[in-house]
Amino acid sequence: MAFRPEPEPRARFSWKIVLTLWTIYGLTTSLQELVGAMAYGRHEPWWFGPAQMMPQAYLWALLTPFILWWGNRFPPRGPGWPGRVLIHVATSLTIVTCMDSAFELYLPYLSAWAHVPLSDLSLPLGSRIIRVLAWWLVFDTMLYWVVLFIGSMRDAGARAQAKAMRESQLETQLAQAELHSLKMQLHPHFLFNALHTVGTLVRTGKSALAVQVVGRLGDLLRRMLDGAATQEVPLREELEFARNYLDVEQARFSDRLKVTWTVEPGAQDAAVPHLILQPLLENAIRHGIAAATAAGILIIGARCTNGTLHLTVRDDGPGMADDPGRSVGSSGVGLANTRLRLARLYGDRAGLEVLNAEDGGVTSHVFLPFRPAAPGR
């Protein structure tokens, strides 16, 4: 099958606008005719001017679609424009000559009907046509070029708008592809850590517990695959995933891991990035729970304040630096991808901070705009 390029976008044609503009033109020239007759002392009925000018105005209205199409067929721009300009010169002269000739054929009948004697009607038809062309050729030809110019400008605007829309769609597609790529990097990272937990349980002789963890891991992987194409989910779904993930980790740490949830009911329907909590939980377990010899507490919180959703994951471990309150610039895959995803989805309206708490441990803060999740989620 041969490739056919898409036609260039064109502005939408509106008969309502065309007829309105040409009606205004016809009424204006009718008024001019009436004033001219009064200035020269001719007695004409009030409708004589519109009877002369309105038919021409509506004939131009009927010709407007053709002029616009002809201008698109031979655009007076781009390489080779001189030849196409000559085509429009010839076209405009032909149209004006035909219209003025038709006017001179019509004028005697109108004059007789209105009982308005016109001295020019005594001349032969050819002389009258030459005379009217001498008076009106330049002005009437300009009408053709005005229509051509306006059509060309409107089509240029339509092309610019279509180009901007294509660029916007491409930018959106690239952003979605980047988000999808960032999200897919979390999957093998999570799987590696989960399998490491299973391996630890097997090596320590807890095979039955390892089998249970594999079952939980399968459920987690199914949830991850189901949401592979989804960037945002309700917070309640993300919390459920986090609970299942922590069930796997509690099989590893047993009574050394205690979890506390402080989630406001109104926050659970907020839209959040899929897997937003998992890297934060992983970071807290690795640097807080696993690094401590005593039992540790993990606190997961969510609240809404002034249109902002605030998510927190805190551990009471030894922390990641000696200076309390200092921001931790982790270069791990999970936290780095979380920052990038927040930036791509929400710009500067969202962010991630990982801080050493003053009373020990590490707190991860996620800020993002609060908005309800899409219906049906």
Phi and psi at residue 293, in whole multiples of 5°? -90, -25
Q: C-alpha distances in angstroms, 283 versus 332, 344, 374?
A: 9, 22, 29
Of residues 126 and 183, more confidence is placed in: 126
User: Cα torsion at 159, 160, 161, 162 (round to 10°)?
Assistant: 50
Of residues 341 and 307, more confidence is placed in: 307
The per-residue pLDDT for range 143-166, each reduced to its tens digit, is: 899 998 888 888 777 777 777 777
Q: Please check the confidence at residue 327 and state whether its pLDDT lies above 60.
A: no
Specify the pLDDT at position 123.
66
The per-residue pLDDT for range 229-240, each reduced to its tens digit, is: 677 889 998 898
C-alpha span between 325 and 203 (Å, rounded):
38
Specify the pLDDT at position 299.
92
The per-residue pLDDT for range 255-286, each reduced to its tens digit, is: 788 999 999 988 999 999 888 888 888 888 88
Instruction: Show the CA angle centred on residue 332, arms to residues 330 and 333, nearest 5°.
Output: 140
The per-residue pLDDT for range 15-42, each reduced to its tens digit, is: 888 899 999 988 888 888 778 777 766 7
Of residues 50 and 90, more confidence is placed in: 90
Specify the pLDDT at position 257.
86
Give the pLDDT band (50/70/90) at residue 206: confident
DSSP letters spanning 191-203:
HHHHHHHHHHHHH
Count of C-beta atoms within a 10 Å radius of residue 165: 11
Q: Please check the confidence at residue 323 and state whether its pLDDT lies above 50.
A: no
Q: Please check the confidence at residue 216 and state whether its pLDDT lies above 50.
A: yes
Q: C-alpha distances in angstroms, 43 versus 119, 260, 362?
A: 14, 98, 97
Specify the pLDDT at position 264.
92
CA of residue 36 relative to chain centroid, distance = 54
DSSP letters spanning 311-328:
EEEEE-SS-SSSSTTPBP
Instruction: Show the CA angle centred on residue 13, arms to residues 9 and 14, nearest 5°.
Output: 150
Mean pLDDT of 179-206: 66
Give helix 235-253 / helix 207-226 axis angle, nearest 10°: 160
Q: Please check the confidence at residue 329 and state whether its pLDDT lies above 50.
A: no
Q: Are the CB atoms for 272 and 238 separated by under 8 Å?
A: yes
User: What sign for the dihedral angle of Cα 20, 22, 28, 33?
Assistant: negative
Q: Are the CB atoms for 277 and 300 separated by under 8 Å?
A: yes
For the chain, list the domains and their CATH numbers. Answer: 15-168 (no CATH), 230-369 (3.30.565.10)
Mean pLDDT score across all residues of the chain: 78
- % of the chain beyond a pLDDT of 90: 15
C-alpha span between 241 and 275 (Å, rounded):
8
Reported pTM: 0.51
Most confident of 9-23, 209-223, 297-311, 355-369: 297-311
DSSP letters spanning 145-210:
HHHHHHHHHHHHHHHHHHHHHHHHHHHHHHHHHHHHHHHHHHHHHHHHHHHHHHHHHHHTT-HHHH
Q: By three-state DSSP, how is residue 304 classified? A: strand
Helices (H), the chain: 15-39, 48-73, 81-114, 125-203, 207-226, 235-253, 278-284, 333-346
Give the pLDDT band (50/70/90) at residue 324: very low
Q: By three-state DSSP, how is residue 303 classified? A: strand
Specify the pLDDT at position 167.
65
The per-residue pLDDT for range 357-372, each reduced to its tens digit, is: 877 888 999 999 999 8
